[in-house]
Amino acid sequence: MKRAICILLVLACVGSAFAAAVKIKEFTVVNEPAGAAAMAMMNYTGGPNAKTVVQVTVTGFTPNTTYDIVLDGGAWGWMIVPGVLQTDENGDGHAHWTVPVNVSDSTVVQIGFAGTPGTQEFDAHATGSPQ
């Protein structure tokens, strides 16, 4: 029995070292209709084919609009994903993509519009970070 418990604990520790999920439930939203909200989920899977699956969902944003998303991870850098989020006629939208690095920890997610190409100018309409 002790051996089975030890094996389960080792497997749990190994599994947690290779997977991490971060959910950002609260965003500060500006320059969007009242009641607009956003949520993000970053699910990291480690190992030889490490990757992070990023999902961003918005509700009540400006209808029929294409948004860019910035991931700012500090230590690992800054990444803009242009035109990844399109809202429908109700202002709702969802984006889903994969990044080949771990961007799940301490990443700030911004939704908005990029400035001049090649710069880090960004007009953020929503900003969220892990709590």
- Tell me what pLDDT residue 69 has: 94
The vertex-110 CA angle with 106 and 111, nearest 5°, equals: 150
Residue ranges of the domains in the chain? 19-128
Cβ atoms of 83 and 68 within 8 Å: the answer is yes
Mean pLDDT per segment of 10 residues, for the chain of length 131 residues?
A: 37 47 93 96 88 95 96 78 95 94 81 80 89 73
- Tell me what pLDDT residue 12 has: 40
- Tell me what pLDDT residue 126 has: 94
The correct answer on CATH 3.40.50 for the domain covering 19-128 is no
Residue type at 21 in one-letter notation: A
- Tell me what pLDDT residue 50 has: 87
SS (H, E, C) 8-39: HHHHHHHHHHCEEEEEECCCEECCCCCCCEEE
- Tell me what pLDDT residue 5 has: 36
